[in-house]
Amino acid sequence: MIQIDQLLLDCVERGTIEGLQMTGISPSPVGASRYAAAGREYSVLVSLYGDQNGTMTLNMSRFTALFLASKMLGEETQPEDINEDYLDALCEIGNIVAGRFKDILSTTHYHFSAISLPALVAGANFSFYHYRGLTAVTVEFEIKEISMAHVHDRVFSASISLMGTSGK
């Protein structure tokens, strides 16, 4: 049986859904893992600081990035290419989701006191390497508001990875 930290799983599910409310979409969780993963073209990373340091990551395809950014900006249509406004919107979405994670975990032993500015990684050819002792949860979400697309473009992931959480 796969053992996933239930508190972090609930945080990632709730924090991502609540964080994306302002885009007008309601993503549905469709899978979970205890490993942080990347593999799609765009990732937003936000560092988490406190007794346990770590990261929050959103990982998505180019199509999904365009879709989410256009929703965040209140635009009806998506451009062909990602521009600076869209990159800023993606980073702001990451910032909002990380803020929700911080609020949700504030009364738990996983609490952290600050988040960094978001960073954006463009390109799918990278991997995450973490130290032993890391506690991580990744949740895959489906965006049902995307009506016609390859399944790869309807799914994105949200992750939390924290150091120093064992034994607490």
Identify the pLDDT of residue 166.
45
> What's the whole-number mean pLDDT along residues 110-137?
83
In angstroms, rounded to a whole number, what is the distance separating the alpha carbons of residues 93 and 71?
Answer: 10
Q: Is the pLDDT of residue 114 over 50?
A: yes
Task: Round the average pLDDT of the chain to a whole number and report it.
Answer: 88
- At 168, the pLDDT band (50, 70, 90 cuts) reads very low
Identify the pLDDT of residue 118.
97
Q: What is the pTM of this model?
A: 0.90
Share of the chain above pLDDT 70, in %: 90
Closest alpha carbon to 61 in 122, 136, 128, 147: 122
Largest CA distance in the chain: 49
- Which domains does the chain carry? 1-24+37-128 (3.40.1550.10)
Q: Is the pLDDT of residue 148 over 80?
A: no
Tokens for 84, please give them.
Answer: 């600076």
